Amino acid sequence: MKTWCQHLIAFLFATYAAPSSAIELVTWWNTPGEQRALEVFKQAYEQAGGSLTLVSLPARDKHNAYIARRVSSSNPPAAAQWLFGPELNTMVTTNVIRPIELPDQSESALHFLYPELRELASENDTIWALPVGVHIHNSIFYNKHIYDTLGLPYPTSWDQLVAQIPTLTTNGIDPVAASAESWQLRYLFQAILLGIGGQQAYDDLNRNRPEASFKSTLLKTAEIYGALRDSVTDHSEFNWTQSAKRVADGTAAMVVIGDYIHSEFQSLGKHAGVDYDCALSPGSGKTLIFGGDTFVLFRDERPATKSAQDLLARVVLDPVNQTRYIAEKGGLPVVSNVRSSPDDACANEKLQIWSDPDANRVLSGTALMGLRSSAINIAIKTHWESKQPPSWLAEKIWQAVALQ
């Protein structure tokens, strides 16, 4: 008589239908946490009978250049990491990637994709990218020991956070870990703006041609952003993993960043609820600024490669693999049939909000491109690295949002 384990193994092999060729997956994930997350998919893929080679490039720009060389030489990898947004649209229009198609009984896996992700991954009702994970960019992570020792409550508004600055700096603690890298500063600025002006202000920054009243919201945001700038001791560029380390070792009290930082805290031996706590940034309400990673599948007419790519898609969307992946990488699952993460209370709280029909889910400004977005990033970075007053930043942003 077969054991339950033997039945399960037989079911998995019948469901996944192993491919007959090895494939490559190219990413720019290099941190220990990111590598652990990738191993979840690799192990599941190989347990299903496939062979998956992981290729990790040191940075996104090098990754994209590598992919361009491979495509131009007619030797693309089977799959690669990609982001939602205009760059994905370019991949579709140039016809170098194939649609995500899951035939037979596995097709239902695509129906569990959250609608926002399906829309971002689709064009003309065809899914062109495989969502892998969702990350909430208006997340704030606190060093729990600092706040407990100093008797400070976690701030529920940005004004309250600014009021705590003297207590933190007097004790030799930077209020925030903030690198001068443009994308990290964009996370911070847009989180403050959301807390001050709500989703309307966020949309005015990124998409709308705002009314004149937006100027006062910009000025208030710039004042808080400037207060944080003036209170930190290091205005240089450093990697986001260093931001995590500064919060973990008590150099800084908190960081505003995507919740993928959870994986870095794990790598540093820190535990949610013990060493750090997290929440949505002050004033966010039920608005989630999100971004996400996808895998794209490159066109290849060989049946064996197509079969192997389909297997990868099924593995990624499998709810068990999604649960294990999120536990390592942080963030939220891409499918609605995964309801919780057993060891991450912070992620569970965000998942409840994400699943709420009344929640507002908006794509991060860091996923946008064009002159307007570039001008905003330049202004935010220049202000952080200078002594310009808040009024200067507010005016520069106001000029930027006039650009389309």
- What is the structure's pLDDT at 131? 96
By the 8 A CB rule, do 350 and 288 touch? yes
- Give the integer Cα–Cα distance in Å for 208 and 93: 26
Calculate the CA 319 to chain-centre distance.
19
Asked if 111 and 92 sit in the same domain, the reply is: yes
Residue 72 is assigned to a structural domain of this protein: yes
Over residues 71-86, the mean pLDDT reads 92
Asked if 70 and 155 sit in the same domain, the reply is: no
Residue 363 is assigned to a structural domain of this protein: no
Residue 85 is assigned to a structural domain of this protein: yes
Closest CA to 239 of 21, 16, 34, 3: 34
Residue 362 is assigned to a structural domain of this protein: no
Q: Which of 46-60, 211-225, 348-362 has the lowest mean pLDDT?
A: 348-362
Asked if 14 and 117 sit in the same domain, the reply is: yes
Asked if 102 and 131 sit in the same domain, the reply is: yes
Q: What is the mean pLDDT of the chain?
A: 90
Asked if 55 and 155 sit in the same domain, the reply is: no
The residue written with tokens 């593995």 in the block is 315
Task: Look up the domain containing 387 and give its range.
Answer: 139-283+370-401
Asked if 204 and 175 sit in the same domain, the reply is: yes
Over residues 235-254, the mean pLDDT reads 97
- What is the structure's pLDDT at 17? 42
Over residues 124-133, the mean pLDDT reads 93
- What is the structure's pLDDT at 342? 56
- What is the structure's pLDDT at 402? 81
- What is the structure's pLDDT at 13? 38
Band of the pLDDT at 360, cuts 50, 70, 90? Answer: very high
Band of the pLDDT at 340, cuts 50, 70, 90? Answer: low
Asked if 103 and 187 sit in the same domain, the reply is: no
By the 8 A CB rule, do 171 and 248 touch? no
Asked if 197 and 249 sit in the same domain, the reply is: yes
Over residues 250-261, the mean pLDDT reads 97
- Give the integer Cα–Cα distance in Å for 312 and 386: 47
Asked if 194 and 312 sit in the same domain, the reply is: no
Asked if 38 and 106 sit in the same domain, the reply is: yes
- 105-122 per-position pLDDT tens digit: 445 678 889 999 999 999
Calculate the CA 146 to chain-centre distance.
26
- What is the structure's pLDDT at 107? 52
- 3-52 per-position pLDDT tens digit: 333 332 333 333 344 444 689 999 999 999 999 999 999 999 999 999 99
CATH number reported for the structural domain that contains residue 187 in this entry? 3.40.190.10
Residue 298 is assigned to a structural domain of this protein: yes
Over residues 152-175, the mean pLDDT reads 98
Asked if 149 and 206 sit in the same domain, the reply is: yes
Maximum pairwise Cα distance, the chain = 77
- Give the integer Cα–Cα distance in Å for 291 and 302: 33
By the 8 A CB rule, do 214 and 196 touch? no
Is 341 a residue whose pLDDT tops 70? no
Over residues 258-268, the mean pLDDT reads 94
Band of the pLDDT at 84, cuts 50, 70, 90? Answer: confident
Q: Mapped to the 3 state alphabet, what secondary structure does the chain carry?
A: CCCHHHHHHHHHHHHHCCCCCEEEEEECCCCHHHHHHHHHHHHHHHHCCCEEEEEECCCHHHHHHHHHHHHHCCCCCCEEEEECCHHHHHHHHCCCECCCCCCHHHHHHHHHECHHHHHHCEECCEECCEEEEEEECCEEEEEHHHHHHHCCCCCCCHHHHHHCHHHHHHCCCEEECCCCCHHHHHHHHHHHHHHHHHHHHHHHHHCCCCCCCHHHHHHHHHHHHHHHHHHCCCCCCCCHHHHHHHHHCCCEEEEEECCCHHHHHHHCCCCECCCEEEEECCCCCCEEEEEEEEEEEECCCCHHHHHHHHHHHHHHHCHHHHHHHHHHHCCECCECCCCCCCCCHHHHHHHHHHHCCCCEEEECHHHCCCHHHHHHHHHHHHHHCCCCCHHHHHHHHHHHHCCC
- What is the structure's pLDDT at 348? 82
Residue 360 is assigned to a structural domain of this protein: no
pTM score: 0.90
Residue 120 is assigned to a structural domain of this protein: yes
- Give the integer Cα–Cα distance in Å for 227 and 165: 9
- What is the structure's pLDDT at 1? 39
Give the total number of structural domains in the chain. 2
Is 172 a residue whose pLDDT tops 70? yes
Asked if 224 and 121 sit in the same domain, the reply is: no
Residue 378 is assigned to a structural domain of this protein: yes
